[in-house]
């Protein structure tokens, strides 16, 4: 669950760079990092400004955002390791920023894992309808005959 929050947070921060949502994103991230003290907050603000400028100047802003994503995932992971109480605030910030992002900047993340013979039926933005027969003589075993 924490990994998903970190990925969503990083994706949302870099997605907001050079958009109308940037002021909200920058201010919210700076507030989160205030937990580390004023010097660290100032350093994060400078890093945010530098990264946003890279996105603004880029001919391919999406490529730059993709390159910056791991940096912000690491920053958020480090923050949450030190201050687990920041997780709720990060989730609130993600929701606030996503509501303000242009439609094409909203990122959808979905991780699905099936283990030990399990099955996953997943979809984003639609429906999944699954009709399965139980194993046995009428439903079959799923093996080819």
pLDDT digits (tens, 9 = 90+) for 44-77: 999 999 999 999 999 999 999 999 999 999 999 9
Measured between alpha carbons, how far is 107 from 117 in angstroms, rounded to an integer?
A: 30
**Tokens 């009709």 appear where?**
131
**C-beta atoms surrounding 138 within 10 Å:** 7
Which of 18-22, 71-75, 78-82 bottoms out in mean pLDDT, i.e. has the lowest?
A: 18-22
123, containing H or E segment:
none
**Tokens 């194993």 appear where?**
135
136: left (phi over 0), alpha (psi -120 to 50) or beta: left
Look up the pTM and report it: 0.69
- Identify the residue with better confidence: 53 or 107: 53
């Amino acid at each position: 669950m924490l990994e998903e929050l970190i990925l969503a947070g990083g994706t949302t921060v870099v997605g907001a760079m050079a958009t109308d949502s940037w002021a909200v994103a920058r201010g919210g991230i700076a507030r989160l990092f205030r937990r580390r003290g004023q010097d660290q907050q100032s350093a994060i603000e400078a890093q945010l400004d530098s990264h946003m400028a890279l996105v603004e100047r880029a001919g391919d802003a999406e490529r730059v955002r993709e390159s910056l994503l791991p940096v912000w995932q690491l920053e958020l992971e480090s923050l949450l390791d030190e201050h687990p109480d920041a997780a709720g605030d990060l989730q609130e910030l993600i929701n606030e920023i996503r509501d303000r992002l242009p439609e094409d900047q909203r990122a959808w993340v979905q991780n699905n894992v099936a283990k030990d013979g399990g099955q996953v039926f997943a979809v984003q933005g639609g429906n999944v309808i699954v009709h399965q027969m139980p194993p046995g003589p009428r439903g079959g075993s799923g093996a080819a005959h």
